[in-house]
Amino acid sequence: MSKMKFCQGNKCHTYTTKDRLKGYKGSKTYQTRRRSSFYYGGDNFCSLNCQNDWFNKYGDLAIDHFGRTTEAKHLTEENAWVKRYNYRGYDNSPDEHYFNNTITNEQRPLTEEQYRDSNYTLNIA
């Protein structure tokens, strides 16, 4: 049984849905949603609305805290390898797996096992 936690949306309690309305007659309040897990924002928000509310209020502070990007980052040729495959099931031949360099468009063969291994890469960094 996982632990219950609250949505981190700063306005969650202001959305007037039936599931947020709690308490006894005469003292009901709309409350922040509480769940064992959430679908949004790394398991922190009950909805995209709540995630956006939080980001609109705290996003700039968070970016400044963790480091704002102030110049372009570069994906170089040595790190531009992605895994691809051609589906061949229609004529009963095996699928063709390969690396493709998204900059040079060079292709290199890959076994299906290497394709499925998320640690296997040609990228350097």
Footprint of Zn ion (CB under 5 A)? 7, 9, 12, 33, 46, 50
Our CB check for Zn ion shows the closer of 12 and 110 to be 12
Min separation Cβ 54 and Zn ion, Å? 9
Min separation Cβ 4 and Zn ion, Å? 14
For residues 121 and 42, give the distance between their C-alpha atoms in angstroms, rounded to a whole number.
26
Our CB check for Zn ion shows the closer of 5 and 83 to be 5
Min separation Cβ 16 and Zn ion, Å? 13
Our CB check for Zn ion shows the closer of 19 and 95 to be 19
Min separation Cβ 64 and Zn ion, Å? 25
Our CB check for Zn ion shows the closer of 16 and 118 to be 16
- What's the sign of the alpha-carbon dihedral 116, 119, 124, 125? positive
Query: What is residue 4's DSSP assignment?
Result: P
Residue 35's φ and ψ, nearest 5 degrees, are: -145, 170
Whether residue 44 contacts residue 10, with contact meaning beta carbons closer than 8 Å, is answered with no
Q: List the Cα angle 37/41/43 in 5-degree steps.
A: 15
For residues 115 and 110, give the distance between their C-alpha atoms in angstroms, rounded to a whole number.
6
